[in-house]
Structure 1
């Protein structure tokens, strides 16, 4: 057995074997995989093997697309049949709202090139007469996916890995990990079978590995404890049943008809596929419990839980309704096993927070579908430094270390239950909330705040009258909340608006080496003391990793503000960079202060008048003037009795300030601002209106226009890149050039809907780009969007078309900042 390798993969399921295969294929010749039992003995063995394309996420759809294409090549390479039945996948809809969901999903599929076709109820009946369709609105069919044998595809990938030089060792359990600054020492114990259980032997070995990947499935909590990190990957029970042969189905097949596609009645919350003349029914019911919250018992191997038919009775009856011939068919087999989930349903794929060369591939609730693509793109990250797609939505650091076992278990149960709910783009899931609340939470709730959740923080999405039902207001078109967001956006443009942006991530960077370090770490020139700038931290590939607003408090002290949703992600990247350059710039200290400071954004034509009533200054009339408080500057001021760091900047594109204040004084400041704003028409404003307003100014958003698949230059942020200095990622950024260009478009779309930022852009019949953000412009009275197109088309006046609800709508590229392009309203003086 090897004791020193380039990369060690821990876990021999579909995900682990795929990672080992793709690392070898990417050029790493010294890779080893360890499995504590037998290959496929975890969730892989009892998975149903479905390969659904359907996913609302851009990165995840890319991963699924790669898997489905890759699995079709394995037999030619390895000689092993992976058992891929390319029967297709039909999702049926009972309501128009479900069809709206499918049409929104189709926008993502279209941008990536995933094949699909629409079927009417009549067409479903003609193709699949065993399926009742008289109560359907229609369906979407993916003809190129289907289902696969999980064990066979895993063994095929394992053989392919071995052919490429990977060593696979079974019956070795990892007992611990230790990092010495250069490599990992992984302590292992040989396992043996005794009385049906696996027991440790006296044979032990230490393996030294430059990189380690954990793909431990249901054992993720044990792995987390060994690594000393938080990992919200906890299994949930999933059960499915296999029926006896259905005579009607047998007759259908004997007549020479093809297999049915994998059938999904999302409104009934189940999937069904053929199995040897019968059916496999897999429900996603309410009440499926989390399990193994603190780890898998040593006695649990390829085991199952008792079936709980009462829990799935409703879904079973819906199965009979949809396929009437199944009513008299008995049950042949049943499975109730653990499948790992995460709070948002996406896997944890990427660097382990706070650790070097430790990579996580955990929490795969759809592991067979994702395994191939997960291995491919993770190998790209490890070998080349980054993947060709932005994988931030899968990055383990998207979750903070504030998460507890209780939180993860309840959210994972919710994620399971939500597999087949309507996935509204404005969806807000209720489990484990509220948890992190700013002091003014109750006051905002009393004002009608309808909250969203950002990194655990409650943040108002919009404000509505008391008794308003946020859940009922959701839609794939303009939901019931839309009118309230529009009123908020109009008020901010006309008078003033107050926005709670407390969840912003906040860090203080200081020390003798802080200035030299930050100058190298970010792309823009550093501000002078008392001034601010917007800047970007780049990846080694020259793409955008993080966005920061930097306030220079003193010569070597910087207050850094970034996206609240990406607090741990940004901090981890900063810490790694500081460690990497230790001794190069001098001492640098990083302090996380997110919970110490609340933030209100006050903006609008009357913002200065409101602050004048509160500011304590020898000359309050000039304290907020351009001369004493210019745009893009910061000052420590007093608002009545609240000390405040005021930053003259506004994400909405109006005259405004961000008011950073001690968290313990937030309710006091909120009350004073509400009192002062009352006579000036100030309105409380939520995140949805703010998102519309920033698009009217063409302000790029991280996680939308900004990410690891584009450079700041491609995003059109040249003014925030100082090419006269050296900074991390500069040369790769310049070498990348302009593969695409970020633009703003105004859209003459449907009267009852706006784009969500997933739609494809066309020039004639040619797909030339895609949206990354969408919404409504109160200034133009039209839908608005931002996205990327071919560079030659990124010219104001270019007329394109945008696909929404299966139709093409006129879209025109406009100048950046269609509202107030000269920034006259932002710079207005007192």
Structure 2
């Protein structure tokens, strides 16, 4: 073991492929004093037994960007380091055994075209031609990605490690981390123990790359890193005579993948119900778990039928090894919410080899610049809620998430395990009236309402799902009458203190120097003018504001505020659970509110964009006149103790007005008709606020704020792209997101979100279109199509909302 220094710029904990990638990329950026500590030997945790599949296509554009980068890097490492990585571009085939799976693959192929990934849809005979050993009975078709590959995980890791060492990194094996010293919100040092003694390294930053040990290492630092190890099975056949190189083959309908390696065939599985494993023994190193043939047998039976040669060859290896999984099947990357210098790259959900190169590059650049190089919201560790570190929760959820890797990835698919954790005060009332719940950030949310006597569960499909007509009815009630829906899950952050106004003016694009009771729609911008958060801010008093955030980003938005507070005299308090929120929306909303409250809800007494304390029934509430659905209405904030009474009062009074309950699927359809952006899809940290069409929410005339210079520069230079709304000319196809946008026959982008506009009568979408130097008339004068699962569908483009473009209805 090399002599360890007493100080370092960064200590990386974990010597798998991810830790070595982070070290490699930091040193490539010029970092010195980089120390990597590995408790046993490099690769000895999960990396050594990984299958080594290296695919390009991921679920989003940026995850695909990172996967493509990994592949390119692995192809170059041998020349740089002299270590053979075993990387080969053998291509990959995914075969579909059902119509629904084939629809999914066709949509993935369209998405690949939008992301610049070479892809070809192939028929069963074409699959047989590329994989002659396959029984194609029941195969409906598939996709071929010629540039996918496979590699040797151990050697790729060793090559990354050598590359890091060549640039000065110190890598110490057989060195365990025994403690982390914390000073406020910073980790000031790392305690270590080796074979011949121990010591302490003072450091500027720590990176947790500990894989399946990452959860416990996080607890050591007071940081929540939700991870659970699960058993992962594969078999390797005896050598098969005449078996030459083959593409990687995935048959997800049978939970199986196949890889040829040195004349042997590997069969791996992502079974529907996985086996959580732990705690991890202290001596674990290059270890296997006890075999469980009974658990694997159903998949093996299907595989022998699908690949007859497998049944004739003997089994050389039956392997069972642990891999770590996160609650949502996306890995953890970024700065831990609970600390200001502890970074995380862990929990790679069986895609660590194909992800490690890109993840290491992205994290290193983030550490170098102090801000994300591009949108990493899919994997940002700050998306995880504190409760998700609960061990029982992790075991229950991980048993499902492993299987979801190869399940049908239907739109709106809900997880079924570890449910019912967070419920609004209205939950039981909505459940009694037919609510069908989905889950987001642990919240049970009424997504739609079943008719009386009808099934109250999802029936998934890529076509019109069983709630399609229900949502259409809810939207019709919104547009013509009045509905109520539960918004309690949205985050609520109270910012108060003598310098609250100054602080919020620093982080918000809009002006916070407004009268008490004013509601301001605004964004938190980064120095590039990108959107870090999309919120409303209500001034409650001279010294207090309420920031309302999307449910999924509540923690991330709170952390953004805390990290920019500095020495200002203000405090930030999460009050999300303290208030229930009911949205009362529709042209009859004023009539309903007037029926339950003596307050004046006229336009002159209660204008749009204001909030007031009101009496409601026998209780008190705060009404916010704001809308995310484009109709007249109020969001009613009520303390949890009075929430049930408020609901019952509204429900009873609403019967004379034909009041309907609505869910959040309806809200999404309505906001799409109105052209309202959805954070994380239509607007992200790499989308400039002006190009997103939100310049009206930025006040550059106020004192300096984060992103001001970038906004002024963009106004001077002009827009390079614009967020455009699309309406399909054919009312039948459905849009979700990532469908390619074609302008005059050429792919120019992809949809950032999509939904069916039941009032408009067809599917709608949004997406960015390049427009450098163009006028709006030129942009809209082109011919547009959307690629829906390989079929080009004509679309109308607009910069204005398709519904109520002048916003007259919600301001009535």
- TM-score range for the pair, normalised by the shorter chain length: over 0.9
- 1:748–1:132: structure 2 CA closer, same or farther, 3 Å change rule? same
Superposed CA RMSD: 1.7
1:598 paired residue number: 580
Given the two structures, how large is their TM-score scaled by the length of structure 2?
A: 0.96
Match of 1:484 in 2: 470
The aligned residue for residue 825 of structure 1 is 809
Relative to the length of structure 1, the TM-score reads 0.94
Mean alpha-carbon deviation: is it higher for 307-316 or for 326-335?
326-335
Distance in 1 separating the partners of 2:738 and 2:185: 42
Q: Which residue of 2 aligns with 1:232?
A: 226
Q: d(CA) in 2 for partners of 1:512 and 1:387?
A: 32
Pick the aligned partner of 1:754 from 714, 734, 737: 734
Structure 2 gap ranges (5+): none
- Please list every run of 5 or more consecutive structure 1 residues that lacks an aligned counterpart in the other structure: 193-200, 254-258, 618-622
- Structure 1 residue 252: deviation in Å? 4.9
Match of 1:494 among 467, 476, 480: 480
Q: How does 1:231-250 map to 2 (within 5 A)?
A: 231-246=225-240, 250=241
Deviation, 1:236, is 0.6
Which residue is 1:352 aligned to? 336
Q: 1: CA distance between counterparts of 2:633 and 2:560? A: 30
Q: Does 1:811 align with 2:795?
A: yes
Contact 2:47 2:153 in 1 (8 A): yes
Identify the range of structure 1 (675-684 vs 546-555) with the bigger mean alpha-carbon deviation. Answer: 675-684
CA distance in 1, matches of 2:803, 2:486: 23
Cα displacement (A) at 1:16: 0.4
CA distance in 2, matches of 1:189, 1:7: 14
Q: C-alpha distance in 2, partners of 1:183/1:207?
A: 14
Alpha-carbon deviations, 1:611-636, whole Å to 9, x = none?
A: 1110034xxxxx00111101100000
Whole-angstrom distance in 1 between the partners of 2:263 and 2:693: 57
In the TM superposition, residue 514 of structure 1 has moved relative to its aligned partner by 0.7
Matched, 1:727 2:709: no
Change (3 A) 1:407 1:644: same
CA distance in 2, matches of 1:785, 1:400: 30
The one of 436, 439, 444 aligned to 2:422: 436
Q: Report matched runs for 1:179-578 at 5 Å.
A: 179-180=182-183, 184-192=187-195, 201=196, 203-246=197-240, 250-253=241-244, 259-292=245-278, 295-365=279-349, 366-403=351-388, 404-466=390-452, 468-469=454-455, 473-526=459-512, 527-578=514-565
User: Which string of whole-angstrom CA distances, capped at 9 and with x for unpartnered residues, describes residues 685-720 of structure 1?
Assistant: 111111111111111111111111112112110110
Q: 1:166 deviation in Å? A: 1.8
CA contact 1:539–1:545 (8 Å) conserved in 2: yes
TM superposition shift of 1:54: 4.2
For residue 785 of structure 2, the aligned residue among 785, 801, 807 is 801
Cα distance in 2 for residues equivalent to 1:382 and 1:101: 36
Q: CA shift at 1:69, angstroms? A: 1.7
Does 2:725 align with 1:744?
A: yes
Aligned to 1:256: none
Residue 178 of structure 2 aligns to a residue in which SS?
strand
* Secondary structure, aligned partner of 1:825: coil
Contact 1:464 1:484 in 2 (8 A): yes
Q: Is the 8 A contact 1:182 1:210 kept in 2?
A: no
- Does the Cα contact within 8 Å between 1:798 and 1:812 map onto a contact in 2? no
CA distance in 1, matches of 2:35, 2:379: 24
The alpha-carbon deviation at position 466 of structure 1 amounts to: 4.6
Kindly tell me the number of residue pairs found equivalent between the two proteins.
Answer: 798
Deviation at 1:815, TM superposition (A): 3.5
1:734, distance to aligned residue in structure 2 (A): 4.1
CA distance in 1, matches of 2:85, 2:421: 45
Deviation at 1:56?
A: 2.2
